[in-house]
Amino acid sequence: MNEIFKHWGIKHLSHSNIDLARNDLGLWVLRYIFRIYDPANAAMARGNAVEHGLQVALQGGEFDDPLDAAMKDFNKRTALGVDAERREKEAKNIGGMVAQAREGMAGAKVIAYQEKIEIEIPGIDIPVIGFTDFTCEDTIIDLKTTTRLPSAISASHRRQGSIYQRAAGNKSIDFLYATPKKHAMYRLENSDKDWLEVCQTALRLQRWLAKFDSKEELAACVIPNYDSFYWSSPATREKAREIFGY
């Protein structure tokens, strides 16, 4: 079972890689085996832009405007390939989200931004890597932008936090959720089950990959669910139909 991922050209795993395998194996094959990625996504660009604006607010110079920085980042990320209506809708969320994120981080003493973390999963030949958002002295804070404020950390984010927590020596992990009008901070507790899910997903994915010799065989054994929100990009669906045959 050694070096299965390396055989398929996968040099490392990540939370997004592992979680996509859990949720849509068809899209996982398209993305990580056939190397076909979604075009720019307005919601994802909004999240990145708000994070950039918050980083400027916390660590930028006194003449740097966080909202201006966020909007410039968003415009750059969505300049090509993004639906104009969706782009405009997400742009309107950025100002409120930056303000709420700043309020949620008030008093936090950030000592590092986008630190690389790395951890091994027993039985897996490649590491799991990631980049944390904001590292403070006693916690790591991960920013999530959303239009609806959750009442708890989502299952997917719990798994992400379990990776960060173990890679950072069991440091506290907090998730800051920011909407245009509200924010909430939740601390990850009791993440052993979440880490087990991460490990088992990776191990079972490795075992599945070991059964195939070619990309074509892999493609013939997955069922892409085009009705899922994961397949919202028409360009991605078109490429997938060429590969999967329907």
Whether the CB-CB separation of 98 and 179 falls below 8 Å is answered with no
CA 4 vs CA 28, 162, 242: distances in Å: 16, 24, 26
Q: Does position 209 have pLDDT exceeding 90, yes or no?
A: yes
Is residue 123 located within the same domain as residue 177?
yes
Does residue 28 surpass a pLDDT of 80?
yes
Q: Is 33 helix (H, G, I), strand (E, B) or coil?
A: helix
Distances in Å between the Cα of 240 and the Cα atoms of 9, 17, 19, 72, 225 are 20, 18, 19, 32, 11
- Mark whether 213 and 189 lie in a shared domain: yes
Q: Model confidence over 1-27: pLDDT tens digits?
A: 579 999 999 999 999 999 999 999 999
Does 86 lie in the same domain as 161?
no
Q: What is the structure's pLDDT at 178?
A: 98
pLDDT at 61 > cutoff 90? no
Do both 75 and 116 map to the same domain? no
Classify each residue of 21-46 as buried b or exposed e, where b means 16 or more C-beta atoms within 10 Å of its C-beta.
bbebbbbbbbbbbbebebeebbeebb
Question: Are both 80 and 130 inside the same structural domain?
Answer: no
The whole-angstrom separation of Cα 209 and Cα 185 is: 38
Mean per-residue pLDDT over the chain, rounded? 95
Same structural domain for residues 208 and 137?
Answer: yes
Model confidence pLDDT, tens digit, residues 113-123: 999 999 999 99
Q: Is the pLDDT of residue 78 over 90?
A: yes
142 and 198 together in one domain:
yes
Task: Tell me if 233 is assigned to some domain.
Answer: no
Residue-range definition of the domain harbouring residue 58: 42-107
Residue 38: the pLDDT is 87
pLDDT (tens digit per residue) in 210-225: 999 999 999 999 999 9
Residue 80 has pLDDT above 90, yes or no: no
